[in-house]
Structure 1
């Protein structure tokens, strides 16, 4: 069978793309091996009618809706290779399947690499977060730690100041703030600690203490960190697409990459606010582009 479109990645971008293409009567193979980046998150926020939903429940509802359309098939398999064909692409999977398609959308998103601090994985997604818009409300007015150890730290600190005035900034031994920035923060009553962090401590995912290499510690009930973001840039050599800032796939405003027939949606196509609503919108727009490109090809036959 030759599919109209294969979608690699079953997050909000891929699922919304599948929904739009299914409603356009397109045959779709959605590949998703059930390893979403937000699986450690207790809830997703900022999406109207779904504010506070757990990622697992979001996926359950999304798949119920998407698979109502008989031309959409869910392949719970991992894509291991993509081969460009004269017209379209061939997808190879871990289970040995070979699937051919006219168009291809990559929506596999980003990987997070957390700071190398003891205990961080015990708290991430429960009391330590990365996005103030996603989780700032839940930590409002609490005593928070901000691990500002990367470029952009000052912006994030200013942003968090509107959710809580009780902030302590830890640069974790890095020179992430200028002298002028540190002076302004201190003027606002925000303490800056430059000593490297030894560990995060607490129970049941709830932070209560940050320990430093010099033996000192501070009491905090939650906080925000700055992960490193890496694109899941699988198949870049096979497909030969151009990249943009931070390794994202370079696309036009409609989601087309520099490789004919290959598109990208969600975090794969841009590095910005990593929220469900942004990803879903990107998937919808890219799917409309795919359908329109298919229409143009078919109508001109």
Structure 2
């Protein structure tokens, strides 16, 4: 299969790019393994016109919109390999699909490193979160826990005070520096140093954090600072340069990565990690890709 653009990843960034490229009448193959970062969330927040919609419904509607474009093909499969080949890129998918793409857009996103806590999976995306900008607003007037090893939890807890007044920092048995403890005191934030035994609640709603000491902390939710990683090895395999945060670096003029013909959009760039930004980055990358084609075709400078 030969295509103009291979879009790897079917989240907001990849779908947005495919929409623009399809409207530019480019032949696009979008491969999506449906492992989006926010798939556990109940609602999307901070997205104008779609605030409160579920990620599942948002993506379903987006795929239906793309289905009407004859030059865009969506496959539910993971791209396992991409290599430069004859001025383009040879690709292979897990379902056996393969071919050559003139350009590649990586919209593969990130994977959150969930806290290693008993019961966390039942609450993640409902009352245990990674993004204050996405979910902090809903907790006004409630008590929240800030989870992070060492000073990471303290730094997160201080930031959380902007959204809620009642915040407790949980360091899960790890040491917190004296400087961080002073900052917590200055902002009226409690510190629980004990190791956490488990999380407890019902139907995804966190109610309490149980400590190994036998005590517990009643709370309505938890935000964590444990880091995240690239969801795909493809940018590394291709040799795309990264910044200190692990985000793929792009040229401010061409929008390309350090590998000519390879572009990125969405969380893989490690910029602002919001759905609204991912949509914009996908559209911006699509315009850059189409301009590259236009220059090659002698239709623009």
TM-score after normalising by structure 1: 0.93
- Counterpart of 1:133 in structure 2 is 133
Counterpart Cα distance in 2 of 1:161 and 1:204: 27
What secondary structure does 1:278 align onto? helix
Q: State the 1:188 CA deviation.
A: 2.9
Q: State the 1:247 CA deviation.
A: 2.4
Q: State the 1:150 CA deviation.
A: 5.7
- Counterpart of 1:296 in structure 2 is 295
Counterpart Cα distance in 2 of 1:273 and 1:195: 33
- Counterpart of 1:24 in structure 2 is 24
1:42-76 CA distance string (max 9 Å, x none): 11111100111100111011112223221111111
- Counterpart of 2:285 in structure 1 is 286
Q: State the 1:125 CA deviation.
A: 0.9
What secondary structure does 2:47 align onto? coil
The answer to whether the Cα contact below 8 Å between 2:151 and 2:177 also exists between their aligned partners in 1 is no
1:125-168 CA distance string (max 9 Å, x none): 11111111111122111011111326654443233112211111
Q: How does 1:179-258 map to 2 (within 5 A)?
A: 179-236=178-235, 238-253=237-252, 254-258=254-258
Q: State the 1:209 CA deviation.
A: 1.1
**Distance of aligned partners of 1:232 and 1:26 in 2 relative to their CA distance in 1, 3 Å threshold:** same
Counterpart Cα distance in 2 of 1:183 and 1:237: 40
Q: State the 1:300 CA deviation.
A: 7.2
- Counterpart of 2:89 in structure 1 is 89
TM-score after normalising by structure 2: 0.93
Q: State the 1:171 CA deviation.
A: 1.2
What secondary structure does 1:263 align onto? strand
The answer to whether the Cα contact below 8 Å between 2:157 and 2:189 also exists between their aligned partners in 1 is no
Counterpart Cα distance in 2 of 1:138 and 1:54: 15
- Counterpart of 2:167 in structure 1 is 167
- Counterpart of 2:102 in structure 1 is 102
Counterpart Cα distance in 2 of 1:151 and 1:87: 48
- Counterpart of 1:147 in structure 2 is 147
**Distance of aligned partners of 1:67 and 1:273 in 2 relative to their CA distance in 1, 3 Å threshold:** same
Unaligned runs of 5+ in 2: none
The answer to whether the Cα contact below 8 Å between 2:152 and 2:225 also exists between their aligned partners in 1 is no
- Counterpart of 2:43 in structure 1 is 43
- Counterpart of 1:123 in structure 2 is 123
1:166-217 CA distance string (max 9 Å, x none): 1111111223x43233223223321111122111111111111111122221
What secondary structure does 1:38 align onto? coil
Q: State the 1:37 CA deviation.
A: 1.6
- The alignment covers a number of residue pairs equal to 299
RMSD: 1.8
**Distance of aligned partners of 1:88 and 1:195 in 2 relative to their CA distance in 1, 3 Å threshold:** same
- Counterpart of 1:61 in structure 2 is 61
What secondary structure does 2:198 align onto? strand
**Distance of aligned partners of 1:184 and 1:87 in 2 relative to their CA distance in 1, 3 Å threshold:** closer
The answer to whether the Cα contact below 8 Å between 1:202 and 1:208 also exists between their aligned partners in 2 is yes
The answer to whether the Cα contact below 8 Å between 1:7 and 1:31 also exists between their aligned partners in 2 is yes
Counterpart Cα distance in 2 of 1:96 and 1:154: 47
Unaligned runs of 5+ in 1: none
